[in-house]
A and B are shown apart, each in its own frame.
Chain A
Amino acid sequence: MATPAAVPSSRRRRAYFIGGTSLLVIAVLGVTLGPVRIGAGAALLEIADRILPVNIDSGLSDQEAAIVWQLRAPRVVLGSLVGAMLATAGGAYQGVFRNPLADPYLLGVAAGAGLGATAALAFGAGAGALPPAAFAGAVLAVGATYYFARAAGGRRTAATLILSGVAVGSFLTAIQTFIQQQLSDRIREVFAWLLGRLSAATWSQVGTVLPYVVVALVVLMAYRRVLDVLSVGEEEAATLGVQPARARLVIIAAATLGSAAVVSVTGLIGFVGIVVPHAVRMVAGVSYRVILPLSMVIGAAFLLAADLLARTLISPGELPIGVVTAFVGAPFFAMILRRREAA
């Protein structure tokens, strides 16, 4: 087996270092910047006071403390989890399907979650019912994609799965649009959710997604070498002692569950799963042993940076974060396509 890592390890180390440092810096900015002026020192002291078992006086008023701990901190943590999960899942999907356009929403996660959330609103459910409904919709959609792929192909090849995902996605989106049409008075809530938002981040949302994201990331990290083997080809992988069908199922299940969990609380934040792994590939080479962990770190940093822009560009107003990621992501995507064309 040829290791496809032609990139020198010093460069990889530098990439990890830069990614990790920017994540930290952006996270600190995330709890510092906002319409209310609070110094980085005081903000960090406040967070230390809440996390550490010692009593630290940050000198902030009750309200400033609430801003740091109830509004900004969960937003930063949730943003990191979402960015890390979407970017890693995107990288994993691209590897498992050997398709550079694959993203975490490929197998119907987005359409299923969207339908689940819309249906919950249609039945008069409160905001708290959105995440579980979206999660259930996403998992059902991917289940349907798998089922139809098997019914169609017998062998679940990558191409059959993608086609089945497209069909299921279109079908569910059609139902969602129909329900949305009937929901005239709550349409804004549906759109706000569809565009993706971190603005409503709470610690309870962090608690909801954390277990899924941790399990999904651990599984994907454990399988990153298998992804390198799969990238050589299915038959070759089989001769190397990897069961392609089973490995693919595990990877897809982990990436899908993690993505469904984050989508269910933040809505559809697009392009992170495509932009980040491709950017990582450009600097760190094509080995998934490097792409996945780097995507995780840089994905978190990218999403936090996008969120910073979303809440400062038109301050004191706020842009939906999905608009920012797509605004940065779409031109980047076009650039990658051009490069491929040129090569």
Chain B
Amino acid sequence: MRRPTVCFLALGLLVAACASPITVDSDAGQLTLDERPERIVSLSATHTEILYAIDAASFVVATDLTSNYPIEAEATTKVDAFNFNVEEIAAVEPDLVVTGFNSQGELDALQAVGIPVLLLAPAANLEDAYEQIEILGDVTGREAEAANLISSMQTRIDALIGSTTAEGLTVFHEIDNTLFSANSSTFLGDIYRRLGLSNIADAVPDEFASGYVQIAEEYLFSRDPDLILLGDAGFGESFESVGARPGWGSLSAVQNGAVFELDGDVAGRWGPRTVDLVEDIVAAIEAAS
């Protein structure tokens, strides 16, 4: 019952704010809610992490199957965002659904049964990510917590970026063992770029402008990246397995031991743990240079 308490204690202006509708910008236009949501379903692991980090966990009634952090999120009702089923979600009676994706028509389906949807598409850079934290803070009435989280992330990430000079180093980021990779237009690629790394995926045509491209093995060899970062460590790839691939022993990164594992969950999200991600990348750069 924290919400009414906060309202009572607030001054007149804020009381008015509590009672009046909440309007935020989402990636599907403006979203207006008549009341503060108290039963939120998060269909994206990133937004689950943000909601928990800004002390809005008490409003979260269900999360999707990939929401595995923090551990408490595992204890909520679980819904399957990948095989989206509007009835499964309607059954937990949410007053707001937060999602990063609309590829299965989630938005229309949920709105058709009267459930408001906050669509926050995958962030393309740190500013996008901070903005999403701010929006979630506005929606849940955790403005101060959101602002604190943003400024602490900003301070730490900026310090990390300032602490290293990767200028001139080339990087290959591996998403899976077919050598799928991410270019600088993605959130992760944007971090590499800010750290001064030159991403070999940037020269590969990105037909669908998705930011994700298929790297050909021989192209990788021709660029001979200084640094190889494994986003697929969770699927068994490691310095050893990469070094054991035929011919890979001739790559500089393998010979110099500059092949590092990243936590795939952290590398694939744009939430509070981005700080850990930047730390890991900086450690890899330090080790490689």
Contact = CB atoms under 8 A, between A and B. Distances in A.
Contact of B216 (A74, A185, A204, A318): A318
Contact of A70 (B177, B180, B246): B246
B204 A317 contact: yes
Given A185-B66, A186-B235, A316-B204, A72 B218 contact: yes
Contacts of A317: 204-205, 207, 213-216, 219
Interface string A159-203: 000000000000000000000010011101100100001011011
B176 interface: yes
A314 interface: yes
B217 A197 contact: no
Interface residues on B, range: 20 to 34
B256 interface: no
Given A184-B82, A188-B178, A316-B203, A126 B236 contact: yes
A318 B216 CA distance: 6
Contacts of A99: none
B221 interface: yes
Interface in A22-71: 34-36, 62-63, 65-67, 69-71
A343 interface: no
Interface string A66-83: 110111101000000000
Interface string A190-220: 0010000101101110000000000000000
A188 B177 CA distance: 10
Interface in B219-265: 219, 221-222, 224, 235-236, 246-251
B83 interface: yes
Contacts of A311: 216, 218
A65 B251 CA distance: 12
Contacts, number: 86
Contacts of A66: 221, 247-250
Interface in B200-214: 203-205, 207, 213-214
A65 B215 CA distance: 20
A311 B222 CA distance: 14
B218 A35 contact: yes
A21 interface: no
Contacts of B236: 126
B180 A67 contact: no
Given A127-B177, A189-B176, A318 B222 contact: no
Contacts of A36: 218, 221-222
Contacts of A63: 221, 224, 250-251
Contact of B217 (A65, A184, A199): A199
Contact of A314 (B176, B207, B218, B248): B207
Q: For this complex, into which size category does the number of interface residues on chain A fall?
A: 20 to 34
Given A188-B176, A199-B178, A200-B178, A315 B216 contact: yes
Given A62-B250, A186-B176, A315-B216, 11 more contacts: A34-B218, A36-B222, A63-B224, A66-B248, A69-B247, A71-B221, A71-B247, A74-B246, A316-B203, A317-B219, A318-B219
B216 A35 contact: yes
The 7 closest A-B pairs by CB, nearest first: A70-B247, A316-B219, A184-B82, A66-B247, A318-B216, A66-B250, A36-B222
Contacts of B221: 35-36, 63, 66-67, 71
A188 B210 CA distance: 14
A199 B179 CA distance: 10
B178 A189 contact: yes
A247 to B, nearest CB: 41
Contacts of A316: 203-204, 215-216, 219, 222
A184 B101 CA distance: 14
Contacts of B178: 188-189, 192, 197, 199-200
A321 to B, nearest CB: 12
Interface string B47-72: 00000000000000000001000000
Contacts of B180: 188
15 contacts: A63-B221, A63-B250, A66-B248, A67-B218, A71-B246, A184-B83, A188-B180, A204-B246, A314-B207, A316-B203, A316-B215, A316-B219, A316-B222, A317-B205, A317-B216
Nearest to A314: B205
Contacts of B66: 184-185
Interface string B29-58: 000000000000000000000000000000
A65 B248 CA distance: 11
Contacts of B250: 62-63, 65-66
B216 to A, nearest CB: 4
Interface in B63-116: 66, 82-83
A314 B216 CA distance: 10
A69 B248 CA distance: 12
B218 A71 contact: yes
Contacts of B204: 316-317
A36 B83 CA distance: 42
Nearest to B235: A186
Interface in A315-342: 315-318
Contacts of A69: 247
A63 B205 CA distance: 24
Contacts of B249: 66
Nearest to A184: B82
A35 B222 contact: yes
